[in-house]
Chain A
Amino acid sequence: MKQELHANRVQLSYATVLFWTSTLGIIFIIVGYLTYVLQLLPSAVSPAEVALHWHLRAAELHKVVAVPSGWDWLTQLGRGDVISYASIVYLSSVTMFCLAVIIPAFVKEKDFIYTVLTLLQVTVLLFVAAGAFSGGH
């Protein structure tokens, strides 16, 4: 059986993209958070106001205060609370970036099974990120 030598090229590509995108993500969430809590930019809802309601269920809290959720913040990028939220959205997208990068690498290696598996995985993640599975409440 042909053995892979420790890590193959596709795996190394994934690792490199993962390193840079996740490092950027960690920096982004800290900068975003400080922008929000130190109120360096105006926010629609202050941290103190959120804290008054964080004991409520998510659905109830959103009826009382206009904190960002899903993609509803895209038109308000100049707000401190939105920047902090956007940093979390970015962190939740890192895996998608990494998977998208390795699809061409699998195609190049003519690895049909993993090209399809990775394509399906990215499709699932894109669907959920787009809000296609936001049933429930």
Chain B
Amino acid sequence: MNQRGYRAFSSIFLLTLFSALLLLSPAAAFAVQAQPPVQTEWWVWEIALFVFSFFLGIIAVIAGVGGGVLFVPIVSSFFPFHIDFVRGAGLLVALSGALSAGSPLLKKGLANLKLALSMALIASISSIAGAMVGLAMPENVVQLSLGATILGISVIMLLSKNSAYPEISEPDTLSKILHIYGIYYDEQLKKDVSWQIHRTPVGILLFIVIGFMAGMFGLGAGWANVPVFNLVLGAPLRVSVATSIFVLSINDTAAAWVYLHKGAVLPLIAVPSIAGMMIGTKIGARLLTKVHTRVVRKLVITLLAAAGLRALLKGFGI
């Protein structure tokens, strides 16, 4: 088997293993019965959640998708936990991932503190509002809007194109006032790259919407942060990805506190998810060069769309 064939085979094998895990897990059995899992021991669910999150972490890294965005629709579809707790755990999964990735990104100058702080204040306030609205909405409305959002995210992921080094001829006035510019060492180009941004007010407005949705559904918001930083504000792709992670740590902290006060965080659901996802992410990063990332990304987007559709149907009571 040649290199290309091997990579394609590895990618499909990984996804098949993940899908099989979903079908064979007690979660799938519960999905069919749609009853509280009285017969299944609690620790079986804990192990299933840990193993599921572990594979989700591997796949999320390979597909270049945030784990949080996959976690909420899939776990709420296949596990017996109420979506309130799944959203709470989803926020903490995204938060802990962002916290553990943040330090090296800041030290290398890839994540930019000033760019993040300028966007995070308003986004964290809207994230709090989103969390409050999300926890007050009836369950079917949550499922419906989650389904529609996830389907929308799938389309964005399928169509969006990034620009590694956007050309900014002139920074806007607000970004000049806020001193948002920087320089980082690009390992691919083997040289320092300096950057600046434009359209800062538009970016701030978009972050209000992103923060609201992230808080409402407990989703990590990398899927939206990165295109806004990269395509709207014109930050280089590496800076966009790194700063997105950093903004996420602030916004998700704000929303997580609403979930904590509303009693929507259960350590029994949050901790195995965080641990599984973190270990999976580290293994995924090592597998990154060995699998066909494009194939995995397309399959993951399909999986995401299916989870969105399932949430939508649940919302309609089907």
A interface residues with partner B (beta carbon < 8 Å): 1, 3-8, 10-12, 14-16, 18-19, 22-23, 25-26, 29-30, 32-33, 36-37, 47-48, 50-52, 54-59, 61-62, 67, 69-70, 81, 84-85, 87-89, 91-96, 99, 102, 113-114, 117-118, 120-121, 124-125, 128-129, 131, 133-137
> Is A95 touching B267 in the complex (CB atoms < 8 A)?
no
List, in ascending order, chain B residues with CB within 8 A of A61's CB.
Answer: 82, 263
Q: Which of B149-194 contact A (CB under 8 A)?
A: 177-179, 181-185, 192, 194
List, in ascending order, chain A residues with CB within 8 A of B263's CB.
Answer: 58-59, 61-62, 67, 69-70
Number of A-B contacts (CB under 8 A): 210
B19 sits at the interface (CB 8 A): no
B29 sits at the interface (CB 8 A): no
> Is A58 touching B84 in the complex (CB atoms < 8 A)?
yes
List, in ascending order, chain A residues with CB within 8 A of B43's CB.
Answer: 37, 47
Nearest A residue to B34 via CB reads: A55
> Is B132 touching A6 in the complex (CB atoms < 8 A)?
no
> Is A58 touching B258 in the complex (CB atoms < 8 A)?
no
> Is the contact region of chain B dominated by helix, strand, or loop, or is it mixed?
helix
Apart from A4-B182, A54-B268, A133-B132: 20 A-B pairs, beta carbons within 8 A: A1-B181, A3-B183, A4-B183, A6-B108, A6-B185, A7-B108, A22-B99, A25-B96, A47-B268, A51-B45, A52-B38, A55-B82, A58-B264, A93-B253, A113-B177, A121-B120, A124-B124, A124-B254, A136-B133, A136-B262
Most buried by A among B133, B181, B258: B258
Per a CB cutoff under 8 Å, which of B120, B185, B265 touches A88?
Answer: B265
> Is A94 touching B99 in the complex (CB atoms < 8 A)?
yes
> Is B82 touching A56 in the complex (CB atoms < 8 A)?
yes
- Smallest distance from the beta carbon of A104 to chain B beta carbons, Å? 15
> Is B80 touching A54 in the complex (CB atoms < 8 A)?
yes
B135 sits at the interface (CB 8 A): yes
Interface code B248-277, partner A: CB below 8 Å = 1, 0 otherwise? 011001101110111111111111101100
Q: Identify 18 residue pairs between A and B in the complex whose beta-carbon atoms are under 8 Å apart, listed by A's number.
A: A3-B194, A15-B107, A29-B274, A29-B275, A36-B268, A47-B42, A48-B42, A50-B268, A58-B264, A69-B261, A88-B267, A92-B95, A113-B179, A117-B121, A124-B128, A124-B254, A134-B132, A134-B258
Nearest B residue to A5 via CB reads: B183
B136 sits at the interface (CB 8 A): yes
B92 sits at the interface (CB 8 A): yes
Given contacts A11-B113, A59-B263, contact A133 B258 (CB under 8 A): yes
- Smallest distance from the beta carbon of A125 to chain B beta carbons, Å? 6
Q: Give A3 to B193 CA distance when docked, in angstroms.
A: 11
B interface residues with partner A (beta carbon < 8 Å): 36-38, 41-43, 45-46, 80-82, 84-85, 88, 92, 95-96, 99-100, 102-104, 106-109, 112-114, 117-118, 120-121, 124-125, 128, 132-133, 135-136, 139, 177-179, 181-185, 192, 194, 196, 249-250, 253-254, 256-258, 260-272, 274-275, 278
Per a CB cutoff under 8 Å, which of A6, A10, A16 touches B109?
Answer: A6
Q: Give A4 to B71 CA distance when docked, in angstroms.
A: 37
> Is A12 touching B269 in the complex (CB atoms < 8 A)?
no
> Is B37 touching A51 in the complex (CB atoms < 8 A)?
yes
Per a CB cutoff under 8 Å, which of A10, A15, A135 touches B102?
Answer: A15
Per a CB cutoff under 8 Å, which of A48, A51, A54, A70 touches B260?
Answer: A70
Per a CB cutoff under 8 Å, which of A1, A3, A59, A121 touches B262?
Answer: A59
Most buried by B among A11, A16, A129: A11
Q: Give A117 to B182 CA distance when docked, in angstroms.
A: 19
Most buried by B among A10, A12, A69: A69
List, in ascending order, chain B residues with CB within 8 A of A89's CB.
Answer: 260
Q: Give A114 to B117 CA distance when docked, in angstroms.
A: 8
- Smallest distance from the beta carbon of A20 to chain B beta carbons, Å? 9
> Is A58 touching B278 in the complex (CB atoms < 8 A)?
no
- Smallest distance from the beta carbon of B252 to chain A beta carbons, Å? 9
List, in ascending order, chain A residues with CB within 8 A of B270's CB.
Answer: 88
